[in-house]
Amino acid sequence: QVRLVESGGDLVKPGGSLRLSCEVSGFTFSDYYMSWIRQAPGKGLEWVAYIGPTGSTINTADSLKGRFSISRDNAKNFLFLQINSLRAEDTAVYYCARHDFWTGSSPYLDFWGQGALVTVSS
């Protein structure tokens, strides 16, 4: 069955960096667009970025460009999110999610992980 498991969440000081990982199984990872979505405490879902099947297509939320970088390793079935210059407002649960095969990068997110908590605090 399809599984997405995030890891790498941690307590980080402001200004620090962090790389989140999402290990997937149960499907052909290299066929799918993948996204990161986050949810800050008491807030709603916020899309962060998506990456195409080969990694050549990347789209990042305008408000997060410059500090957030999405990447993937199709050989090892991993999705990554690099976050630099972390701020308190980056504190959130970060989810990885799979896009529907047929609609590519559309908001059709058919499988989600359970999330990884990132806390930014001194």
Partner 1 sequence: QSVLTQTPSASGAPGQRVTITCSGGSSNIRTNSVYWYQHVPGAAPKLLIYDTDQRPSGVPDRFSGSKSGTSASLAISGLRSEDEAHYYCAVWDNKLSVLFGGGTKLTVL
- Interface residue list for partner 1 (CB under 8 A): 35, 37, 44-47, 50, 59, 61-62, 95, 97, 100, 105-110, 112-115
Q: Which residue lies nearer to partner 1 by CB, 16 or 115? A: 115
Q: Which residue lies nearer to partner 1 by CB, 8 or 115? A: 115
Location of structure tokens 């690099």: 82
Closest listed residue to residue 8, CA positions, set 16, 26, 20: 20
Q: Are the C-beta atoms of 86 and 17 separated by less than 8 Å?
A: yes
Q: Which residue lies nearer to partner 1 by CB, 16 or 52? A: 52
